[in-house]
Structure 1
Amino acid sequence: IGYGTTQTKDLTGSVVSVNEEDFQQGNLATPEQLVVGKIAGVKITSNSGAPGSGSRIRIRGGTSLNASNDPLIVLDGVPLDNNKIDGAANPLNLINPNEIESITVLKDASAAAIYGSRAANGVLLITTKKGKAGKKLSVGLSTNNSVSTVPTLVETLTGDEFREVVNANGTPAEIALLGEASTDWQNEIYRNAFSSQNNLTFSGGIEKLPYRLNLEYSHNTGILKRSQLDRYGGSLNLSPTFLDGQLKFDVNGKYSRTDNFFPDEGAIGSAVTFDPTKPVESGVEDFGGYYEWLANNGNPNPLAPRNPLGLLFQKEDESTVNRFLGNAKIDYLPDFLPGFTATLNVGTDVVRSSGSVFIPAEAASNFNRGGTNNVYEQEKDNRLLELYGNYAKELPGINSRFDVTAGYSYQNWLRKSPAQPDLNVAGDTISPPGIPFETENTLISFYGRLNYTLAEKYLLTFTLRDDGSSRFSPDTRWGLFPSVAFAWRLSEEEFLRNSGVYMKLRAGYGITGQQDIGVDDTGNDYPYIANYDYGTLTAQYQFGETFYTVLRPQGYDANIKWEETTSYNLGLDLGFMDNRLFATLDLYRKETKDLLAIIPVPAGTNFTNQLFTNVGSLENQGVELTLNYIALHTGKTRLEFSGNVSYNQNEITQLTKSDDLQDPGILIGNIPGGIGNTVQIHTVGFPAFSYLVYEQQYDAAGNPVEDEYVDYDGEAGITPGREDLGLGDQYIFDGSPDANVFAGFSTYFNYGKWSLSFTLRGEFGHYLYNGVAAQRGFFKAIDPQSATYLQNLTSAYYDSQFQTGDVTQFLSDYYLEKGDFVRMDNFTVGYDFGEIANKVYLRVNASVQNAFVLTGYSGIDPEVVGGIDNNIYPRPRIFSLNLNLNL
């Protein structure tokens, strides 16, 4: 639970722990995939189907518009850095999922406030496996081998269909551009991909020295050709005790090296766009032999799409990332003070990454600049020092017990990257190196927690943390984050004591913060300090005979501070039949103030007329229900069901320093089909990332009428309470890109040596913008540049019969579709062979991941981060075979 442990029956906050036996099965490259769909209120969405790609994790909705919405992740007591690692698709893919024992989620503020200014988005506590005292040496070998396939593709026109459409509707010049081939470009760029994950483990205990050593090699190839992630790693845990148990050590060290091979994912969009009547190869050596659309001068047409295979095979984008993450925790339990434990925790997280990007000079994608030959490096250091004490004591005289924790924490982060020039293959400088990047920030904290139990019925928890962050000015860098929670075990009362029913009522309140305020690699680690830009050579000041270059500050707020979230939680735990049927119900409300947003300000002495400052507020409120039922547990037969369902409603309540109903809000959500087009808005009274669109007109037969929209300009009632925003005919669509209802359901069945399990997950009540259909669903899309090249269409053209593709058409609600879906994440069948040789035991599991998706959405996948579907890397269907040998 953060700086300590407690029994489930003593919890007062909303805390859920998932253990190894309940994890997702199959080919899993990153830790967060282990608990997808397993926890109410926690939504985990993979960003793409690339091997090791990152996920968006949301606990009870997002609490910010511009700062991070990611939860704090603590691995074996070390809080990790959420900033990206250069050369890694996902910082978490450097951690071996096979070595994780449990993942605990602190959802409400009464549980998470012990982490103060980093806990507004919840906390994930990851605990890795350890050796067991007194156990003989155990050797384990596991290998998981899998084949990934492409479950679905964008429905583009075939070569024959494309020729038919162009011949029927095109101009003579367009018809003359048609070729004779029939190339399925998507089939050309995708493949069936093989992956293998292998772990060798030694575990046991030598007298008072438990140990565990793991060695790992993982080879993951992606369904997009040339995508690959290889991971080599090892972890060591030692947990010796001394002085008859008074001195305990817990030492953890984890090293990993990942070799990443990133394909040019622009090939995905190009495969949808490229003319299907053209061949893959041109028959000549120019441009690597790949067919390309040419301009009149014989060079690649700069406006035409590039050959998808040329994009994939003429780019070498590789990186190597080395990471060491370790800590040493020392517990001292003095015999002169029973119940007291003093703990010292020292940790480090060191990352060294480097990479290169090479594109040959003859590649069409880089032809005008003579190719690319660039390198990059990054160093990251995360250092932790914590000292805390815990004292627990029973007071039988008043039928009470309590434990109190108090501590100090120091954490320092350093990031730096050398400046590198932008070079072409010949070594010519396209742009000079610039300024080396280096930044450092520190967080100092004091914290305390009191747990008090009276008569084993009434439980009280009080937490307080005082954080000081160097990211803010001395006037605003310190903040207090309190929480209080109360629980009442009604099952200990006389009227329920012998009923066989377990019942506990929980209530909690707390304040948490967010100090990860959108820091990026521009060096904006200190947003309260002015960043100065050089003036141009034509804007110099003359003093005497000398001209001086001027410096002017970017817009900044010297009083900027962290965002602050106040949370309320009311929970009920119910158990029946000795807890074989267990239910948990939680109602919550989160109010975030001092929301960071970009607001307009007079330019004055700044270069910009916009300012990044604390102005807004938003709310999340919802309900969570979890059910677990052990239906059968007799002998070697076991049948379990578990399910959860969550509802979350998000609303922005303020975006300016005053209640300005004339302010339209913040336009966001860039879409294809024109520079500067956006289809989403942050505005008061609506969820974050709401859609701002035109309402499509339809004819009597229900077909969309091109370029015809409902005329709302100046009319009231379209967007209730926000009619006069100056948005013309656009209106705020009643639908969010984030599902307000999401659920998970799991089943486990064991009979003798056989086992079967599956996990279903669903999301409901949200809408997606089908950017692929918008961009490729009208006839003019075949020829945007007057018969200089052709582009393919999707089957959306047959549905709409749109011709011109006016810019306004891209902003139509015609392209908003319901995103509801039910997905089978995992289906696993296992068999335990038992002892197959002298003290050699074997278990085999076969799994299918992403087995099916039920949805009405017309795109390739209804699970889209941010709501805008624009040629995402498809999530693969994975067939896995896992063998576990234990000696």
Structure 2
Amino acid sequence: MKGFAFKTSLLGLSLLSCLGETQLYAATKGESKWIRSMQQQDVRGVVRNEHGQVMAGVTVLVAGTTVGTSTASDGSYRISLPKGKSQLLFSVVGYSSQTLTVVGGTSVDVSMVPAGNVLEELVIVGYGSTTKKDLTGAVNTVGSKDFNSGLVGSPEQLINGKTAGVQVMSNSGSPSSGSTIRIRGGASLSASNDPLIVLDGVPLETGGISGNSGNFLSLINPNDIESMTVLKDASSTAIYGSRASNGVLLITTKKGKGDALRLSFSSIVSMQQAMGVADMMSRDEFASLINTKGSTAQKALLGNASTDWLSEVFQDAMGTDNNLSLQGKIGKTLPFRTSVGYYNQQGTLRTDKTERVTGALVLNPTFFNKHLTVNLNVKGAHNNNAFANTDAIWSAVAFNPTQPIYSGADAYGGYYESLDNAGLPATGANLNPLGLLKQEKHRSTVNRAVGNLDLDYKFHPLPELKAHVTLGYDYAKGNGSNLIPASAANNFTIGGSFDRYEQTLKNKLFTGYLNYNKFFPEIKSTIDVTAGHDYQYWSARRPPIVYYNEAGDIRSTAIASDERHTLISGTDGSTTITIAVIY
């Protein structure tokens, strides 16, 4: 596929409402602090880290010049601002650089913030979280700033080509077909090679659901995702068990941030075209070949029309992705984020289309002086699909280009077909490609709701001891129908066909654990002990599918009632001791 995207985005523009004042501003990178005073003077101060400890060796530069100094052993600095200069840049390895605009003042103290160092990045790993430097397995995290841009219909496309050892391969050109994900290749010739997918701590059912072409991830709005972490090796099996033998994809969604209300809207419009389409003979080239080397019977099949069948079955596929979100804090204690999204994508094959409406709500308040942290995350999706008959592609390649699309008669819906002496579709002949696409109706609807509640409590007498509980629920229902009318050449001899199908999936989760984590500064060591229990229940129900002809007569019944239940429960624990680690 090739395409271009026209993007109109107001994500950087936010509406702020705080203290009775409304502002429209564009967010900027980095951090800017303003210090107000009456006049500009020499500046001095002390630089400390996030723990309040003084920092030696921090570089202090006058922005835009080579004038600079470094902090002394007690963290202090002194610098004179040249005329016309008012910004100071503070930087040191391992911490985010800070730019301060000095409007005046003689004393400016600075608190440095650790950089997003990959060694310190938190990774959610089953029971709790750990840092990358303490995680022995291969881990790679891709944040929202590094995601693939443009019109992205499914979350796995966000990290395509972004992390080594991970392959994301599109199953077909259909917008509802989804992708195949492989982490470090396949591990089995017969069993599934799909990785385990964990959404905000809730392991999701692998595979797909009826009516969604096996693309279960497409029911999650990519715009709601904050980061995606890949666990690549045996450590993932130790955390999640044998179901993670093909690796784990951890998806973390966005949460409410900041005190002020921020309203964001983005809209993307794109167009896609089919690539690598076969270079077919023109009508005249085809007729010349048949007249030169064809048999008498073949010559008799030549017509007077000129039809480019591939151009008729393919189209320029329009797509749009619109997202609206509101985040901030209600009062002073309830951070939140809510969002709605609308995604619509045509397929490059005519009559192929998918449409998705999503909604999400995240509440993450704290209580009891931040000893209790609550995270409530609810997401829902409604997905409509129209599937095209892909047999039309081969028919378009093989169909006679000297014949018209329409026959001028009422038979077979008015579409031209190759007929035998009895006026029936000729055995072995290709059917009209447009008839395959426009006469048949293959439709589906899928609804999904995913919710989880996380509770973290740090005990007041012993803050190093933490209790965690996760409750999760994932519900999905898909249903659809296939209709081929009796007037269509396809299935004409049996009077057409009609069937309905549905499937319901349920996933329930409970996880609870205790964690003790304490740093001993005397020996520069950390002990981290975790013990927990988890319970997960899956069920899948698929009633029988009954096949009818258009008159309502039962032709056959297939796939008897299918009910599957899987129970996973256990008591697990882990201990990590880090002793005098120096980098």
TM-score (structure 1 length as normaliser) = 0.51
CA distance in 2, matches of 1:448, 1:175: 78
Structure 1 SS opposite 2:153: coil
Q: Which amino acid aligns with 2:377?
A: N
Say whether the 8 Å CA contact 2:176–2:385 is kept in structure 1: no
CA distance in 2, matches of 1:45, 1:432: 34
Residue 578 (structure 2) pairs with residue 453 (structure 1): yes
CA distance in 2, matches of 1:26, 1:315: 32
Corresponding residue for residue 13 of structure 1: 137
Structure 2 SS opposite 1:183: coil
Corresponding residue for residue 800 of structure 1: none
Structure 2 SS opposite 1:256: strand
Q: Which amino acid aligns with 1:51?
A: P
Corresponding residue for residue 202 of structure 1: 326
The sequence identity of aligned pairs, in percent, is 47
Residue 394 (structure 2) pairs with residue 266 (structure 1): no
Corresponding residue for residue 172 of structure 2: 48
CA positional deviation for 1:216: 1.1
Corresponding residue for residue 297 of structure 2: 173
Which of residues 537, 547, 557 in structure 2 aligns to 1:412?
537
Which of residues 484, 507, 525 in structure 2 aligns to 1:359?
484
Say whether the 8 Å CA contact 1:131–1:212 is kept in structure 2: yes
Task: Please list the CA deviations of residues 264-284 of structure 1 after superposition, one character each: whole Å capped at 9, or x if unmatched.
Answer: 111111111112121111111
Structure 2 SS opposite 1:398: coil
Flag structure 1 segments of 5+ consecutive residues without an equivalent. Answer: 458-491, 493-887
- The alignment of Structure 1 onto Structure 2 pairs a total of residues equal to 457
Task: Please list the CA deviations of residues 508-548 of structure 1 after superposition, one character each: whole Å capped at 9, or x if unmatched.
Answer: xxxxxxxxxxxxxxxxxxxxxxxxxxxxxxxxxxxxxxxxx
Residue 409 (structure 2) pairs with residue 281 (structure 1): no
Structure 2 SS opposite 1:244: coil
CA distance in 1, matches of 2:559, 2:314: 38
Q: Which amino acid aligns with 1:235?
A: A
Corresponding residue for residue 721 of structure 1: none
CA distance in 1, matches of 2:143, 2:543: 42
Say whether the 8 Å CA contact 2:236–2:244 is kept in structure 1: no
CA distance in 2, matches of 1:302, 1:76: 54
CA distance in 1, matches of 2:288, 2:515: 77
Q: Which amino acid aligns with 1:394?
A: F
Structure 2 SS opposite 1:167: helix
CA positional deviation for 1:442: 1.5
Task: Please list the CA deviations of residues 294-333 of structure 1 after superposition, one character each: whole Å capped at 9, or x if unmatched.
Answer: 1221111232111110000011111110000111011111
Task: Please list the CA deviations of residues 647-694 of structure 1 after superposition, one character each: whole Å capped at 9, or x if unmatched.
Answer: xxxxxxxxxxxxxxxxxxxxxxxxxxxxxxxxxxxxxxxxxxxxxxxx
CA distance in 2, matches of 1:242, 1:256: 31
Residue 339 (structure 2) pairs with residue 339 (structure 1): no
CA positional deviation for 1:433: 6.1
CA positional deviation for 1:434: 6.3
Corresponding residue for residue 149 of structure 1: 273
Q: Which amino acid aligns with 1:41?
A: G
Corresponding residue for residue 26 of structure 2: none
Q: Which amino acid aligns with 1:191?
A: Q
CA positional deviation for 1:12: 2.7
Which of residues 519, 525, 547 in structure 2 aligns to 1:422?
547
Say whether the 8 Å CA contact 1:234–1:255 is kept in structure 2: yes
Corresponding residue for residue 72 of structure 1: 196
Structure 2 SS opposite 1:124: strand
CA distance in 1, matches of 2:560, 2:169: 36
CA positional deviation for 1:173: 1.8
CA positional deviation for 1:5: 2.6
CA positional deviation for 1:80: 0.6
Q: Which amino acid aligns with 1:163?
A: A
Task: Please list the CA deviations of residues 480-507 of structure 1 after superposition, one character each: whole Å capped at 9, or x if unmatched.
Answer: xxxxxxxxxxxx3xxxxxxxxxxxxxxx
Say whether the 8 Å CA contact 1:14–1:111 is kept in structure 2: no
CA positional deviation for 1:250: 0.6
CA distance in 2, matches of 1:321, 1:434: 20
Which of residues 490, 494, 497 in structure 2 aligns to 1:369?
494
Structure 1 SS opposite 2:490: helix
CA positional deviation for 1:255: 0.4
Change (3 A) 1:111 1:69: closer
Larger radius of gyration: 2
Structure 1 SS opposite 2:487: coil
Task: Please list the CA deviations of residues 186-214 of structure 1 after superposition, one character each: whole Å capped at 9, or x if unmatched.
Answer: 10011112211111101001312110000
CA distance in 2, matches of 1:402, 1:438: 45
Say whether the 8 Å CA contact 2:182–2:193 is kept in structure 1: yes
Structure 1 SS opposite 2:240: helix
Which of residues 237, 250, 264 in structure 1 aligns to 2:362?
237
Which of residues 242, 246, 262 in structure 2 aligns to 1:138?
262
Corresponding residue for residue 211 of structure 1: 336
Residue 209 (structure 2) pairs with residue 85 (structure 1): yes
Residue 576 (structure 2) pairs with residue 441 (structure 1): no
Flag structure 2 segments of 5+ consecutive residues without an equivalent. Answer: 1-122
CA positional deviation for 1:112: 4.5
Structure 1 SS opposite 2:241: helix
Structure 2 SS opposite 1:142: strand
Structure 2 SS opposite 1:317: strand
Say whether the 8 Å CA contact 1:114–1:448 is kept in structure 2: no
Say whether the 8 Å CA contact 1:53–1:93 is kept in structure 2: no
Matches within 5 A, 1:726-875: none
CA distance in 2, matches of 1:160, 1:414: 59
Structure 2 SS opposite 1:421: strand
Q: Which amino acid aligns with 1:303?
A: G
Structure 1 SS opposite 2:284: helix
Structure 1 SS opposite 2:130: coil
Residue 438 (structure 2) pairs with residue 294 (structure 1): no
Say whether the 8 Å CA contact 2:444–2:480 is kept in structure 1: yes
Say whether the 8 Å CA contact 1:384–1:412 is kept in structure 2: yes
CA positional deviation for 1:148: 1.6
CA distance in 2, matches of 1:181, 1:439: 55
CA positional deviation for 1:243: 1.3
CA positional deviation for 1:11: 3.5
Task: Please list the CA deviations of residues 160-187 of structure 1 after superposition, one character each: whole Å capped at 9, or x if unmatched.
Answer: 2222222222222222222222211110
Corresponding residue for residue 590 of structure 1: none
CA distance in 1, matches of 2:319, 2:559: 40
CA distance in 2, matches of 1:146, 1:111: 38
Which of residues 232, 243, 260 in structure 2 aligns to 1:107?
232
Quick check: 220-229 or 396-405, which moved more? Answer: 396-405
Corresponding residue for residue 305 of structure 1: 430
Structure 1 SS opposite 2:288: helix
CA distance in 2, matches of 1:216, 1:92: 15
Corresponding residue for residue 54 of structure 2: none
Matches within 5 A, 1:653-664: none
Structure 2 SS opposite 1:298: coil
CA distance in 1, matches of 2:569, 2:280: 56
Q: Which amino acid aligns with 1:119?
A: A
CA distance in 2, matches of 1:346, 1:447: 17
Change (3 A) 1:216 1:456: same
RMSD: 1.5
Which of residues 382, 393, 402 in structure 2 aligns to 1:257?
382
CA positional deviation for 1:390: 1.6
Say whether the 8 Å CA contact 1:15–1:111 is kept in structure 2: no
Corresponding residue for residue 4 of structure 2: none
Matches within 5 A, 1:425-504: 425-432=550-557, 435-457=560-582, 492=583
CA distance in 1, matches of 2:399, 2:165: 42
CA distance in 2, matches of 1:419, 1:50: 27
Task: Please list the CA deviations of residues 430-469 of structure 1 after superposition, one character each: whole Å capped at 9, or x if unmatched.
Answer: 1146632222222223332222211114xxxxxxxxxxxx
CA positional deviation for 1:103: 0.3
CA positional deviation for 1:28: 0.5
CA distance in 1, matches of 2:196, 2:568: 14
Q: Which amino acid aligns with 1:376?
A: Y
